[in-house]
């Protein structure tokens, strides 16, 4: 688990909000504020500078994308602040907007389905990884994106195994955990990752692991 994190939480559904507060506090984190709308989220984030922001995408008053837009604003104002977005269902448009907000920042960012909160250990692990600077996308979202097919664009050159590795990278897994899941050696994973970087022609000066994940999630271009 991560060290003690200061967290601002935005969720308008009272039961889920209180559930999240309980889970996070039991894990040793401090909830600086638990708010119900995007305006309050921005105010508390600006005033308290938390380590992590967790926000629902759909917030009052219109329950469309207020939380997402607030997250993009927070990333602009505080580029080093980690952000995790929660959604009730898979929405590719949200993923694209979220990824666009990562440009120029090395802070962690995540996109999780609300069902993931019920898997407490997985949820807290995702919190840790996002707070530590990782890009973490819900496994169900990754599987959905993978299922839609990738026969063109920069990903076409990847082998099936390389796509498996890249999908696990998109979920925020490190090389050792990828090796465990695929039952291969870490050396084999490093070789696959190197091949992915080469085939996607990523800039050596960029964070190539994050760049590879973003290329994967954006799909064909």
**Cα 141 to Cα 3: distance, rounded to the nearest angstrom:** 28
Q: Is the dihedral of CA 86, 88, 94, 95 positive or negative?
A: positive
What pLDDT shows up at residue 95? 62
What pLDDT shows up at residue 171? 79
Three-point CA angle 19, 21, 24, nearest 5°: 105
What pLDDT shows up at residue 214? 64
What pLDDT shows up at residue 94? 62
Length of the chain: 221
Residue ranges of the chain with per-residue pLDDT less than 50: 1, 205, 221
What pLDDT shows up at residue 221? 47
Structural fold of domain 149-218: Arc Repressor Mutant, subunit A (1.10.10)
Domain with CATH 1.10.10.10 in the chain: 149-218
Residues near 192 by beta carbon (within 8 Å), at least 6 away in sequence: 161, 162, 165
**pTM for the whole thing?**
0.77
Structural fold of domain 6-140: Rossmann fold (3.40.50)
Q: Is the dihedral of CA 199, 207, 124, 73 positive or negative?
A: negative
Cis peptide, bond prior to residue 164, ω within 30 of zero: no
Q: Which two tokens stand for residue 64?
A: 């469309």
Domain with CATH 3.40.50.2300 in the chain: 6-140
């Amino acid at each position: 688990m991560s060290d003690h994190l200061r967290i601002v939480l935005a969720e308008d559904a009272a039961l889920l909000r209180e559930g999240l507060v309980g889970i996070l506090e039991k894990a040793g984190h401090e909830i600086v504020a638990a708010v119900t709308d995007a305006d309050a989220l921005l105010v508390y984030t600006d005033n308290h500078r938390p380590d992590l922001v967790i926000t629902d995408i759909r917030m009052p008053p219109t329950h469309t994308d207020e939380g997402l837009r607030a997250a993009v604003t927070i990333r602009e104002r505080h580029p080093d602040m980690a952000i995790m977005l929660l959604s009730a269902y898979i929405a590719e448009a949200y993923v694209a907007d979220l990824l666009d907000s990562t440009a120029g920042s090395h802070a962690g960012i995540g996109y999780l389905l609300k069902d993931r909160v019920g898997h407490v250990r997985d949820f807290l692990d995702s919190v840790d990884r996002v707070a530590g600077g990782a890009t973490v996308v819900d496994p169900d979202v990754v599987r959905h994106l993978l299922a839609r097919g990738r026969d063109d664009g920069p990903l076409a050159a990847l082998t099936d195994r390389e796509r498996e590795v890249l999908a696990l990278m998109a979920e925020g897994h490190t090389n050792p955990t990828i090796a465990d899941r695929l039952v291969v050696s870490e050396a084999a994973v490093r070789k696959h990752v190197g091949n992915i970087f080469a085939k996607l022609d990523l800039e050596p000066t960029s964070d190539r692991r994050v760049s590879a994940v973003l290329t994967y999630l954006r799909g064909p271009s």
